[in-house]
Structure 1
Amino acid sequence: MSAQPHSELSHRVITHIQFIYPHLNAEEICQQLLSIMRLDDNTPTPANHQNHWNQEDIVAITYGNSLLKETEKPLHSLHQFFNKHLKGTINSLHLLPFYPYSSDDGFAVMDYSKVSDSLGEWEDISALSKDYKLMADLVINHCSSRSLWFDNFKQGKHPGKNFFFTASPEDDLENVVRPRTSPLLREVVTPQGTKHVWCTFSHDQVDFDFRQIEVLYEFIKIIRLYLDYGIRIFRLDAVAFLWKEIGTNCIHLAQTHEMIRLIRCLIEHSANEAVIITETNVPNHENLSYFGNGNEAHCVYNFSLPPLLLNTLISGNCQHLKSWMMTMPPSQMGTAYFNFIASHDGIGLRPAEGLLNDDELATLVNTITQFGGRVSWRNANGIQKPYELNISLFDALQGTFKGPDKYQIDRFICAHAIMLALEGIPGIYIHSLFGTNNDYDRVKNTSHNRSINRHQWSVEQLESELENPYSAHHKVFKRIKSLIDKRTKQPAFHPNAVQFTLQLGEKLVGFWRQSQNRQQSIFCIYNISDQTQTIAMTDINLIDTANWFDLINEKSIEDLHSDLTLAPYQSVWLTNLVHK
C-alpha cells in the first residue's frame, strides 16, 4: 500500500524536522507536534506576507508588578490602570515573565505552566488579552536551576533527566559567544556521575539541550497553553543561543534558525494573527538574519536604535544615526522592525559595535556613569568589554557630554518622537511613559545593576504625580500620550510605510514617511542639539501645491519659502494630509 500524500502543513513540518533532527523519524515527530497543537491535515494554510499590524499598534513593555496597590493582585492593578489612563492610546502589552521564578526578575523560570501567585492567575492573563494584544516571553534557551526539570536531572529522573546541555571542561569552548563573564559550565553531581551543565547566562539559568526531542515537545505544549489563554505575540528570549555544537561559537547556528521556522509554522497555523518576535541582542547584521526569507521572525528587535539614539542626543551629532538609518533595509510585507529605546534590560552596546568606535563608546559609558548609571560587562576572548548601560532612560538623557542641563524633558520627548515616527512597531517601556528615575534602593536590595530601571510604583503615588501639573512625571506622561495619539491616526506611520532619510546636517535628524497608498506624506524633523537650529523650507523639498501642517505643534505652514526654526530638541511632523 502506498503512503498517503502529506498535506502542505505536514510537508512543511517534516521538512523542518528533517533538517534539525536528521537521525529521527520525522513523520512520527510531525504527528506528535500536530497533536499537541491540535492541528490536522485540514488546517488551512495562512497566506504569506501578511501584516498583522498597522499604525495603531503601540506596545507597552511592563512587568506584572510594575504597578502596586494594596489588597489587589498586581495583574489586576495593572489592568485597571491601563484601562483608566491608557485605553485607546496603548493597544498592546508586553507582559514580562509572569511565571514562578528564582532569579533575573522572571527570566529564570521555575514553572512555565503557572502564573506566579504573587501576581495573579491565568484568568488575569486571559482578561488582559481581551482588552490588549498580549505579548509573552517564551524563555526558550534556559530555565531555573530550581525547576522540577532540573531537580529531576540531578536525580536522573524523567522528565528532565536529559533536558540540559552538558559539556566537558576539556572541550574546545574557546570561541563560545555569550554575554556574561561568569564561568560557562556548572558542576553538578548526578547518579550518572559529575556533569558540567551549560549556563549561557548565570548558574541559576541552566541551558536546555534541544537535541533531545522531548525538550521540543515540552515547549510546543507551553506554546499551546499560552495560545489558549489569549497570548498572540511570542517573544523568543535569547533564542540566538538555543542550539549548541561543541567547537563552534554556539550562536546563530543553522539549527536555531530552522527551529524558529518550525515554531512559526506551528503557531501561525494555530492562530493566523499570531506574531513571533526574536530577541537577539547582537550586532546589527546578525540581528537582521532572523527575518530569514520572510519565514522566520515576523519582527526583530531594533537593538541598534537605543545606543545610537542615546549617543545622538547626548553628543548633539546625528551622523552615526543617520548613516545607520540609510543602511537599514526596508522590511518586506509580513515583517517589521520592533523599535524601542528603553526596556527592562539595560541599553545594549553590542548592537553598536561597528557603528560607534571604541573611543565613542568609552565616552558614552563614562557619561552614563556620571549620570548615575551602572555598566555591565562581558568577556570577549579574555578581555572585559562593556555589554550594556544600566540606567533609566529619563536619567540617561538628563544632559550632554558637557553635563546635566535644563533640557532633560525636551530631550526625552525628542527621543520618543523620533522612535514613534520610524519605520516599525514602537515599544515603550512603562517607566518611559512616566519619566521614572533611577531606583538606587532596588539596586542595593538586589545587588543587580538592571534593577536600577525596574522601579515598582504605588498606584496611589503615581496617580498623585500624574495629577500634579508641576510634576515631571505629569509633563512626560501628557506629552508622550499626545505624541502617541497623533501617531496612531496617520497612515504614513504604518510600520511598513516608505521611509527615506533626509540630509539636513549633523544637528537635525530628518526622514520622510509616505503612506502605502501614497496619499499622505510626513516629513519628520528633529533638532537633536542644545542650540536653536534653522533650516530653509526649500531644503526639505515640500511640494508647494499642497497645504502643510505640523502635527506636533498643531499649526499650518503658511510660507514654504521661509525658514523653519527649531528650538533645542524640538520635533516637527509636517504632513500634507491630516487624519483626525
Structure 2
Amino acid sequence: MSNTLHHKLATMLDVVYPATDTGLLADQLLETMALARDTSAPPAHQNNWDEADVMLITYADTVQRTGEKPLQTLNRFLDDCLKDTVSAVHILPFFPYSSDDGFSVMDYLAVNESHGDWEDIERIAGDYKLMADLVINHMSARSRWFENFRKRIDPGKDYFFEARPSDDLSAVVRPRTSPLLNAVQTEDGERYVWCTFSEDQVDLNFANPQVLNEFVGIIRYYLERGVTIFRLDAVAFLWKEVGTSSIHLQQTHELIKILRLLIEHHTPESVVITETNVPNRENLTYFGNANEAHVIYNFSLPPLLINTLVTGNCRHLKTWLMSMPPAQMGTTYLNFIASHDGVGLRPTDGLLTEEEKLRLINTMESFGGKVSYRRTPDGKDQPYEMNVALFDALKGTAEGGADDWQLQRFICAHTVMLALEGIPAFYIHSLLGTENDHERVENTGRLRSINRGQWNLDTLEAELADPLSHHHNVFTELKRLIAIRRKQPAFHPNATQFTLHLGLQLFGFWRQSMRRDQSIFCIHNITDEVQQVSLGDINLIGTDQWQDLISGLKIDDLSGSLTLKPYQSVWLSNRE
C-alpha cells in the first residue's frame, strides 16, 4: 500500500540515496528500529507539551557530592529542589568523550563511568521527560569507529567524510577558525578528514547509508532507556558536498524527516529538537512543513533580549517578535536565554546592525565576558558568540556600566522568557544565578568554560538557604514565577500571541488560551527608570476582572494607569 510506513520511508530515502535500493534500505531501517512495515502513524499535529512544561538544561556533573556519582547527585537535587518546578531535563552529553565537555563522543551506547550508569539515566527518565543529545554530525577521533577508519576495516572504514586540499571549499560555512581538513595516516596512506568543529571532532559521512542505520540503532537504544526528547546537535552541517556551503542542504532536511518518522512511529509522545545556531530565517526552515523538527531553539531570543535590557530599548526585540510566525500545532519553539554555549551572534544577522553588535560585545566584555570567533568563506574572522554567564551579562547597562539593578534585570529577562510562545528552558547556572567562572577558563583554556562551572551540593544548598545570598533570591523568585506560569492556559506553548505597541521602554505582548477563556497581557519595563502604562492603551475588557498574576494587584480602574518600577513585569490576567 502506498501509505504504509515502509512506502513513506522509501520515498524519503529516494531523495537522499537515489543510487541505492531504497526499498531494501527501508526494510533494514525498520528492522533496526523494530518497526513493522505497516506500523500506524501517530496523530498528526499533536502537541506533546502544555503550559506546565518547563525544561532544565544541565551537565551530568554540574552538581556534585563527595562519594556519590554525579547523576545520582543530580537526581537528588531534582527531587529535593525542583520536583514541582521542571517537567523535563536536558542532560548534556553523558557519554565517554575526549574533548568539548562531552560533544566529542567516543561511545554513543555507554554512560561515562565517572557520571554514573544507564540505571541512573533511567531513574531520572522515570520521573522527568528526558532530553538527550544525539551528537550526529561528528564523532571523537579517539572513538573505535575512527580507529577502524584508520585501519580501513568495518565498522568505520567509510563512516567519516573525506575531501582533498585541492577541492573547492571556498563556500563552506562553519563556526570555527580551525582548519577544515585534517591529514590522517591510515593503512591506505594519508587521507584528509572533514572537521567542522575541531581536529578531535571528525564529521560523519551520511552519504554512506550504513551510518544512518547505525544512528537509527542508537536512537532505538536511547528510546528503550527512557529518552523521549532528541536534540539533534549541529544538525545543519550534517550533509557535506564539495563546492557548496555544506550547510542546510536538502539531504540534511530529508534526513531529519526520516529520523522523525522513525522516532515518532516507535514512541508517539517523543519529540525531535534541532540545534541550529544560525540566522533566524535559516533556523525557521527546520520546522519544514510540520514534518521535520517538532521544536526549534529560539536562537535569536538570547542576544536580542540581552541587548534590550542593557540598552533600555526594545525596538529590535519587538520587530523580531512581530516577524515570528506562529508555530503550527504539533510544533513549537524552545525559549532560552542562556545555555552551556555562549550567546550566539549569527542569529542577530539582519536584526542588529554591525555597530549595534559591536556595542553589545563591548558591553559584555566590560562585564567580564569573552568573545569567540568563526572564519568566514573569505578568510576573515568574525565574532561568533559572546561567552558570559547570564547573571553577569545583565549586571548593568551599555551607557552606565554596572549598577544596583542586576537582580531585577535578571529576573525581568526570565519573566519575558516564561511568558513567550513556546516551551521555556532554564540553564541550571541561570536558575542558580551563577557568575562568570574565570578560574575555570584559565584551567581549561576554553572560553565556553566561563559558564560551565560546577557546584558542590552542600555548598549550593547552603547558598540557596541563605536569604542574604543572591543565589537564594534568584532561585526563589524564578521558582515562584515558574509555579505561576504552569497554571495558566494562556501560556500554553501554542496559545495565541500578539505584540503590543507601548513605546520603546515597555516590551509587551498578549497571550490568549486556545479555548479563549483566558487572556494575559505581559508588560515589562526594560529600563532603569520608572515607566507608566496607560491601561486604556491595552484595551482590557471592562466586563472582566483583571489582576496581576505576579504581584496579586487587582485592577479596579480600567481608565487609569500602572506604575512600573525599573525592570518590573506584570502579567495582567482575566482569571486567577
- What TM-score comes out, normalization by structure 1 length? 0.98
Give the whole-Å Cα distance in 2 for the aligned partners of 1:577 and 1:6.
Answer: 49
Q: Are the counterparts in 1 of residues 6 and 38 from structure 2 also a CA contact under 8 Å?
A: no
Q: Are the counterparts in 1 of residues 4 and 38 from structure 2 also a CA contact under 8 Å?
A: no
2:442 maps to 444
- CA drift of 1:349 comes to 0.2
Alignment of 1:140-539 (within 5 A): 140-380=136-376, 381-401=378-398, 402-539=400-537
1:329-355 Cα shifts (integer Å, max 9, x gaps): 000100001110000000000000110
Matched, 1:131 2:127: yes
SS across alignment from 1:134: strand
Q: Are the counterparts in 1 of residues 303 and 343 from structure 2 also a CA contact under 8 Å?
A: yes
Give the whole-Å Cα distance in 1 for the aligned partners of 2:561 and 2:519.
Answer: 20
Q: Are the counterparts in 1 of residues 283 and 296 from structure 2 also a CA contact under 8 Å?
A: yes
Give the whole-Å Cα distance in 1 for the aligned partners of 2:208 and 2:371.
Answer: 37
Give the whole-Å Cα distance in 2 for the aligned partners of 1:45 and 1:159.
Answer: 32
Unaligned 5+ runs, structure 2 = none
1:290-328 Cα shifts (integer Å, max 9, x gaps): 000000000000000000000000000000000000000
- CA drift of 1:217 comes to 1.0
Question: Superposition RMSD on alpha carbons, in Å?
Answer: 0.7
2:562 maps to 564
- CA drift of 1:563 comes to 1.3
Q: Are the counterparts in 2 of residues 392 and 452 from structure 1 also a CA contact under 8 Å?
A: yes
Q: Are the counterparts in 2 of residues 443 and 450 from structure 1 also a CA contact under 8 Å?
A: yes
Percent identical pairs in the alignment equals 59
1:95-119 Cα shifts (integer Å, max 9, x gaps): 1000000000000000000000000
1:551 maps to 549
Letter of the structure 2 residue corresponding to residue 272 of structure 1:
P
SS across alignment from 1:178: coil
Give the whole-Å Cα distance in 1 for the aligned partners of 2:41 and 2:54.
Answer: 28
Give the whole-Å Cα distance in 1 for the aligned partners of 2:373 and 2:43.
Answer: 44
- CA drift of 1:195 comes to 0.7
Q: Are the counterparts in 2 of residues 284 and 351 from structure 1 also a CA contact under 8 Å?
A: yes
Moved more, 40-49 or 487-496: 40-49
Letter of the structure 2 residue corresponding to residue 395 of structure 1:
D
SS across alignment from 2:227: coil
SS across alignment from 1:232: strand
Unaligned 5+ runs, structure 1 = none
Letter of the structure 2 residue corresponding to residue 475 of structure 1:
N
2:16 maps to 20
Q: Are the counterparts in 1 of residues 4 and 39 from structure 2 also a CA contact under 8 Å?
A: no
Q: Are the counterparts in 2 of residues 62 and 94 from structure 1 also a CA contact under 8 Å?
A: yes
Q: Are the counterparts in 2 of residues 549 and 556 from structure 1 also a CA contact under 8 Å?
A: yes
- CA drift of 1:41 comes to 2.7
1:120 maps to 116
Alignment of 1:54-65 (within 5 A): 54-65=50-61
SS across alignment from 2:547: strand
- CA drift of 1:7 comes to 5.6
Matched, 1:83 2:79: yes
1:516-547 Cα shifts (integer Å, max 9, x gaps): 00010000000000000002111111111111
1:176-231 Cα shifts (integer Å, max 9, x gaps): 00000111000001122211100000000000000011111110110000000000
Q: Are the counterparts in 2 of residues 7 and 41 from structure 1 also a CA contact under 8 Å?
A: no
Give the whole-Å Cα distance in 2 for the aligned partners of 1:156 and 1:510.
Answer: 59
SS across alignment from 1:313: helix
1:121-159 Cα shifts (integer Å, max 9, x gaps): 000111000100000000000010000111111111111
Give the whole-Å Cα distance in 2 for the aligned partners of 1:231 and 1:165.
Answer: 28
Matched, 1:32 2:28: yes
- The equivalent position to 2:62 in structure 1, one of 45, 61, 66, is 66
Give the whole-Å Cα distance in 1 for the aligned partners of 2:283 and 2:330.
Answer: 17
Q: Are the counterparts in 2 of residues 56 and 489 from structure 1 also a CA contact under 8 Å?
A: yes
Matched, 1:52 2:48: yes
SS across alignment from 1:195: strand
- CA drift of 1:568 comes to 0.2
SS across alignment from 1:81: helix
Q: Are the counterparts in 1 of residues 548 and 573 from structure 2 also a CA contact under 8 Å?
A: yes
Give the whole-Å Cα distance in 2 for the aligned partners of 1:132 and 1:441.
Answer: 33
- CA drift of 1:441 comes to 1.2
Q: Are the counterparts in 2 of residues 108 and 142 from structure 1 also a CA contact under 8 Å?
A: yes
- CA drift of 1:33 comes to 0.5
SS across alignment from 1:175: coil
Give the whole-Å Cα distance in 1 for the aligned partners of 2:462 and 2:130.
Answer: 28
- What TM-score comes out, normalization by structure 2 length? 0.99
Give the whole-Å Cα distance in 2 for the aligned partners of 1:91 and 1:535.
Answer: 34
Q: Which runs of 4+ in 1 moved over 4 A?
A: none
SS across alignment from 1:511: strand
Give the whole-Å Cα distance in 2 for the aligned partners of 1:309 and 1:535.
Answer: 21
